[in-house]
Every structure is written in structure tokens, then in C-alpha cells.
Structure 1
Amino acid sequence: MDKVNAFKATISALCAALTALWGWFGWVVVAWVCFMGIDYATGSAAALRAGKWSSKAARDGIWHKVGSVVAVIVAAVLDMVIGHLLTSLPGVELPFTYSVFFCPLVVIWYFLTETGSIVENIGALGAPIPPWMAKTVDTLQDAVDEAGEKIAPEDGEKKTE
């Protein structure tokens, strides 16, 4: 029993230390990375079940995930550069403190994309999917898209406040 309690205490201390180190956003990144793995596994399983698995498609899936990671890194660097510019440019002041914006938005968008793909894979594996589940993921992704569109509207659209 002492070993179990020591294990629980170690895990709790590790989670507390990681939360102190990277905050809520770090856990979102961890969830996204876990969902990338789950998506890859369920996608491969669904392809195997359908008899359509191919190493080329598997490699394409990995390259897709690598591209997602690069996009998140670019968003993080963009946040860093904007933060440094705002603190270094004389006369430029915002009515709020800017720490990050793009990276959380991009990570959450990719997280929801992975979630939607996992839901599709679950269906392809033959498991029933609650009708509201896919709708909820789509609604959340639309909300993230709307937030992004408010800061960078597509050509021909007016910026809404």
C-alpha cells in the first residue's frame, strides 16, 4: 500500500510541477499530441478493417501530422515575436497585456480537427457514434474559425468587432 501511495504522490507532484511550468496551455498541447496518436492508430485500424491500409497513406498521415506540428511552432514563434515587438517598440501600447494568442488558437483548432477525425474513424470501425458528438465538434471548430476570422478576415469580408 505504501508503494501505491508513493506512486500517487509522485504522479501528483509531477502533474503539479508541469502545471506550474506550462499552465493550462501545456495540457492542451499534451492532449493534442495524444489525440494525434489516437487519430493515427484509429485511422490505421479503420483502413485495415476496410482492407485499404497502405504504407503510402500511413506516411501521408505522418507527414500531415508533422505539418501540423510545424504550424503550431510557427504560431508560437509568431506570438513570441509579437510579444517582443510590443514590449520593444516605443510608443506602442495595447490596452491589455499580450502574452499569447495565435498559438493557443492554432493548437485548439488542430485539436478539434484531430477530434473530428477520431470520431470519423470510430464510425469507420463500426462503433455507433452519438449524433450530437460530431455536431458538437463541428460547432466548436466553427467557433474557433470565427475567432480567427475576426482577427484576419478573408478577402472581401469586413472585419467585425
Structure 2
Amino acid sequence: MEHITGAKAAIAAVIGCLTALWGWFGWLVFAWVVCMAIDYITGSCAALRAGEWSSKQARDGLWHKLGAVVAVLVAVILDGVIGIILANIPALTLPFDYTVFVSVLVLVWYIMTELGSIVENAGALGAPVPAWLANAIAALEARVDQAGEQLGQGEDSANRDV
């Protein structure tokens, strides 16, 4: 029993250290990376089960994931540039402290996309998947899309109900 308590304490310490190092944004990135890995593995398994697996499709999936990484990096750079602009141009102010926003939207959108794909893969593997789960993921993804679309619009559209 002491080993289990020690293992729990060690896991809690590691998670605490990582949270102090990464913060909530780091855990969001971690969740996205885990979702990408699960999607790739379950997609490959579903293709194998259907007898449709090919190395070309597997490579295309990896290229797709690389493109997503590049898009997230662009969002992180954009957040950094916005932060620099806001810190150095006194005429530009926001009613809140700006740290990250665009990259959070992009990451959450990609996480929702990966979760939707994982649910599809689970169904292709033969698991019963409740329709409401896929619908909930699609609805969340649509809300993130709406928030992203409002990002570049004026204050009038930002005050409308989404």
C-alpha cells in the first residue's frame, strides 16, 4: 500500500511541477498533442480493420498533422506580435490584459477537430458511439468557429449573441 501512496505522490508532484512550468496553456497544448496521437493511432487501426491501410495515407495523415502544428505556431507568433504591439503603442489599448487569445482559439478548434475524428474512428473500429457525443463536439467546434470569425469583426458583431 505504501508503494501506491508513493506513486500517487510522485505523480501529483510531477503534475504540479509541469503545471508550474507550463501553466494552463501548456496543458492545452499537451491535450492537443495527445489528441493528435490518439487520432493517428485510431485512424490507422480503423484503416487496418477495414483493409484500407496504406503507407501513403499514413504519410498524408502525418503531413496533415504537421500542417496543424504550423498553423498553431502561426497563431502563437500572432499572439506574441499582438502582445508586443499592445505593449509598445500607447494609443492601442484593450480593456483587459492580453496574453494569449488567437492561439487558444486555434488550439481548441484543433482539439475539437481531433476529438471528432477520434469518435469517427471509434465507430469505424466497431464501438457504439452515442450520437449526442459527436453532436456535442461538432457544436463546440462551431462555437469556436464563430468566436474566431468575430475576432476580426467590429464591436457591433462582437456584441451580438453567438
Quote the Cα distance in structure 1 between the aligned partners of 2:55 and 2:75.
30
The 3-state SS of whatever aligns with 1:160 is: helix
The change in CA–CA distance for 1:159 and 1:39 in structure 2 (over 3 A counts) is farther
The 3-state SS of whatever aligns with 2:127 is: coil
Aligned to 1:26: 26
Aligned to 1:112: 112
Structure 2: 5+ residue stretches without partners: none
Aligned to 2:78: 78
Quote the Cα distance in structure 2 between the aligned partners of 1:98 and 1:17.
25
State how many pairs are aligned: 157
Scaled by the length of structure 1, what TM-score is found? 0.91
Are residues 1:14 and 2:17 paired? no
Scaled by the length of structure 2, what TM-score is found? 0.91
The change in CA–CA distance for 1:49 and 1:159 in structure 2 (over 3 A counts) is farther
Aligned to 1:129: 129
Instruction: For residue 25 of structure 1, report the CA deviation from its aligned partner.
Output: 1.9
Which of these residues, 151, 157, 161, is aligned with residue 160 of structure 1? 157
Structure 1: 5+ residue stretches without partners: none
Instruction: For residue 16 of structure 1, report the CA deviation from its aligned partner.
Output: 0.9
Q: Which amino acid aligns with 2:138?
A: D
Instruction: For residue 131 of structure 1, report the CA deviation from its aligned partner.
Output: 1.3
Are residues 1:66 and 2:66 paired? yes
Quote the Cα distance in structure 2 between the aligned partners of 1:44 and 1:124.
11
Instruction: For residue 147 of structure 1, report the CA deviation from its aligned partner.
Output: 0.3
The 3-state SS of whatever aligns with 2:157 is: coil
